[in-house]
Amino acid sequence: MLKNCKKTMAFLLAAALLLSVTACGAGQKTENGSGGAQVSGGTASTETAASVKPEEQAQTSKTEDPAAAEELTASENQSAEQEDQSASQADQTEKNGDIYILFTSDVHCGIDQGFGYAGLRQVRDGLEAKGYETILVDNGDSIQGESIGTLSRGEAIIDLMNDMEYDVAIPGNHEFDYGTDRFLELTKEADFPYISCNFTYQDELVFEPYVIKEAAGKKIAFVGVTTPLTIRSSTPVYFQNENGEYVYGFMEDESGESVYQAVQNAADAARAEGADFVYVMGHMGDIEQFRPWTYADVIANTTGIDVFLDGHSHDTNQVVMKNRKGEEVARSAVGTKLDCIGYSHISKEGKIVETGIWTWSNAVPAPELLGIRNEISDKVNEAEQELEELLNQVVASTSVKLTIEDPEEVDETGMPLWVIRTAETNLGDLCADAYRDQTGADIAFANGGSIRVNIEKGDITYGDIISVHPFGNMICVLEVTGQQILDALEWGSRALPADTGAFLQVSGLTYEINTAIDSPCLKDEKSLFAGIEGQRRVQNVMVGEEPLDPEKTYSLAGNDYILRNNGDGFTMFDQAPVLQDNVKLDNQVLIDYIVDTLGGEVGEEYADPYGQGRITILE
């Protein structure tokens, strides 16, 4: 199998002019007609699937990297005439009867990262030039994740996907980040169908549950399924009506049975319609916390699926596991940001030969390193130029200066003091308010290190907002105890009067810091929070009119850097239940709060540069 994988990769690189590409996971070589996959050639080792441990034993294929493809010589500046000749030759190529299904997932607007869309097009064109027929599908989370998605509210990515000639797509949880209505508008602009067997409006399916594509005389069904966790990992209000009632859903019963049956019904219907193969396009993932809605749960509780193309958890695991009848099903995932391209090869004899991924392992994106120039590279460049124009577009205004600096004090060089890391400011209040408003959480934290520049009085551009939050952190919501909140406030204030990026701007509570008391915070060997020993300097913490209760639970919004990833040493939230996961980019949250909630105008409530009195420092 490894030899065949090397051969396939070598011809692909030669056709696509892509150097330094390796095969990740080496693919899964299978022989399959209309039933479950059958592993051949001893290519699978017996292991459980990723971090998921379903009752069915899973077999995870070995990760082996084939030798680097031989160096190819090609002009980096291919002329337009040569491109036209190549396209003409591809059109005239005799078809060999084989099919390659290519798939992407969790692109998150990474249009010029990894392979990039230009590299993906080059790969597809190279396959077709060899006589293969191709089908290109996407498993969700394509329209959100970078400024180009945020500022165009997904439209720029849909336009590029149209140019790429995608054949089918499914919604991921982040397709809804601009609102459900906006996503449905975008689906009408798409030249390809969105499918889902479990996305409903008032209990009726929004999209077709499956679609059948014909290639090389074979009927290939694609069934779409999206994680029910979308209800909480996007913004819950987007799935509600004006009365706060949920009208959209993803069949999120706690047993998982509704989703399993929906997938089964779609697979059965596709078979009845004459499908030779059934591919599930899933945005489900392989994290234990996602159960009972992981890919492994679905495979273990269904039959009739040949291959499960998966996304959501950004992994690249290549797995073969047993379905409900004990038949083996291949599952493939492609990571994120176009670092990988997924493929499934169907032979002219009607066998699934191999399913796996190609990965781009260089830090420099393929289009840049190889000088790839084609229709898509031109489109990507155009989109990026339009992004620059969008960054200068005025979206709101402010009648007050929003600051991270002390308006009066200066340092020894005469420069303004950057006090966002030592004290409350009006911009800190604004950012924290945005997190709480857009998630509906009880409390919100914004660490001072994530707020980078002032917003001057007058017009506010998209570029201004992006500059305030340039890191692209995701906002999430956790269920935490009052004690965890106390520990976080203590950790954030430990350095005072010195500054630290961990200093917490807040919304939904007020607190005092007595700097006469030494910090009681303990650090571990990596300088992360390890506990409290001694008298606390944080005191009089109030949530509204009530004292914070250490035993009570609260919903806490903040960026994933501090709440999920131990950024700035915040470890006290480890293992806290996630209520909303990766809701939106922090800069998108700030835009939406100013434009939608404040009506596009930041006014007198944020006039005081020292904030609204939420943080009192006792000296």
Q: 466-487, pLDDT tens digit by residue?
A: 889 877 788 999 999 999 999 9
Helices 180-189 and 155-164, packing angle to 10 deg: 30
CA distance 460 to 394: 6
Q: What is the pLDDT of residues 227-254, one digit of tens each?
A: 998 886 666 778 889 888 889 999 998 8
Joined tokens for residue 611: 């904030």
3-state secondary structure of 397: strand
Name the nearest CA neighbour of 319 among 276, 282, 370, 272: 282
Q: What are phi and psi of 364, to 5 degrees?
A: -85, 130
Residue in this structure with the two tokens 């080792």, named with its chain if needed: 45
Tell me, what's the pLDDT at 500?
Answer: 87
**Mean pLDDT calculated for residue range 536-553:** 96
Tell me, what's the pLDDT at 296?
Answer: 96
- pLDDT of 60 strictly over 80: no
CA distance 553 to 573: 12
Q: What are phi and psi of 124, to 5 degrees?
A: -60, -45
Helix (H) or strand (E) segment spanning residue 468: helix 462-468
Q: What are phi and psi of 554, to 5 degrees?
A: -135, 155
pLDDT exceeding 70 applies to what percent of the chain?
A: 84
Tell me, what's the pLDDT at 357?
Answer: 96
Question: First CA to last CA across the chain, in angstroms?
Answer: 70
Q: What is the pLDDT of residues 306-348, one digit of tens each?
A: 999 999 988 999 999 999 999 999 999 999 999 999 999 999 9
CB-based burial of residue 61 (10 Å sphere; 0-12 exposed, 13-18 middle, 19+ buried)? buried
The answer to whether 205 and 251 are in contact (CB under 8 A) is: no
**Mean pLDDT calculated for residue range 28-42:** 38
Residue in this structure with the two tokens 């409350």, named with its chain if needed: 424
Residue in this structure with the two tokens 């009848």, named with its chain if needed: 325
Length of the chain as a residue count? 619
CA distance 69 to 297: 37
Q: What is the pLDDT of residues 486-513, one digit of tens each?
A: 999 999 999 999 888 899 999 999 999 9
CA distance 198 to 262: 6
Omega within 30 of 0 (cis) for the link into 497: yes
3-state secondary structure of 616: strand
